[in-house]
Amino acid sequence: MVRLKVEVSRDLKALAFNELLALTELANGSLDLIDDSDDLVVDYRGDINALLKRICRAALIKSIRVIRDINEEEVVRLDRSRYRSLKRGRESGSVSIDLRIARLLVNLARTEENSVFLDPFVGTGIIANEAAMIGARVIGVDINYNALRIARSVYTDVVNADVRLISIRDNAVDSIATDPPYNRLSISDADLDALYRVFAYEAFRVLRHGGYIAFSHPTYVNALDWFLNLGFELVGNGLQYVHGGLTRLIYVFRKP
């Protein structure tokens, strides 16, 4: 066992801890949270080198120090300067998600190299691109054909379809990460409640047993029960302040 001090993005500390848990799981390790009053202090059990390789793909983790008695040794520091150019505004009728949140969702979904990854609301492909950078085989579905023309520049198999008509067989997807549309940003003819209910059903159908799904949505959309009633297990959640009166809730579920 080794004690670690993990420097994370302070504005998203709860989500950063969930990201650390996800990357720890991918490294076949485990951890206990000791203190989160400042940085995250955790006790890690497992191969530290395996963890550090996973940490290099993190979105919200800045550095890791090993604590030995009263001494601390920095073992990794991440350059996240590319996230300073946050993707905001409209592109082809859709809103682009921040780069660090896109990578965070991919990590929370436990996406692996050579695994099958699905974004059922792929839009212009920002989340899909983060999954492709990790080395996953990416499938992107969206009803908005104009957005898909941009997503095609990503190494993605794109499908122009409604989420209610996904032609993917049962248990065929290893992980799902997405940012579903809301209000006037959606061009589907379904109301939001119906859209999220079908999204939950289709996600449960296509996701393999033991697979994870991570997605964000506005706090005024109550999607928790729809996923729990289908049999999903809630494994993590946290809030992301976006702007003005908009705050998004990020959920992470596991299919047993």
Domain CATH code at residue 99: 3.40.50.150
Residue 34: domain span = 2-77
Are residues 20 and 141 both part of a single domain? no
Nearest CA to 155 out of 202, 109, 179, 122 is that of 122
Are residues 173 and 236 both part of a single domain? yes
pLDDT in tens, 187-239: 455 577 788 888 999 999 999 999 999 999 888 888 899 999 999 999 999 98
Task: For 20-87, list the strands marked E by DSSP.
Answer: 30-35, 40-45, 61-68, 71-77
pLDDT of 71 over the 70 cut: yes
Are residues 29 and 131 both part of a single domain? no
Are residues 224 and 247 both part of a single domain? yes
Are residues 156 and 249 both part of a single domain? yes
Are residues 58 and 168 both part of a single domain? no
Are residues 133 and 70 both part of a single domain? no
pTM for this structure? 0.89
pLDDT-based confidence at residue 86 (cuts at 50, 70, 90): very low
Q: Give the separation between CA 171 and CA 207, rounded to whole angstroms.
A: 5
Q: Give the separation between CA 252 and CA 241, rounded to whole angstroms.
A: 17
Are residues 132 and 184 both part of a single domain? yes
**Domain final residue, candidates 42, 77, 112:** 77
Are residues 89 and 60 both part of a single domain? no
Count: domains in the chain: 2
pLDDT for res 185: 46
Are residues 193 and 93 both part of a single domain? yes
**Mean pLDDT confidence for 140-157:** 66
What is the CATH classification number for the domain harbouring 68? 3.30.70.100
pLDDT for res 40: 97
Which residue carries 């006790």 as its tokens? 43
pLDDT in tens, 88-104: 444 444 446 788 899 99
**Domain final residue, candidates 59, 77, 95:** 77
pLDDT-based confidence at residue 146 (cuts at 50, 70, 90): low
**Domain final residue, candidates 77, 102, 123:** 77
Are residues 53 and 147 both part of a single domain? no
Are residues 66 and 168 both part of a single domain? no
Nearest CA to 182 out of 201, 199, 165, 166 is that of 199
Compute φ and ψ for 48, nearest 5 degrees: -65, -35
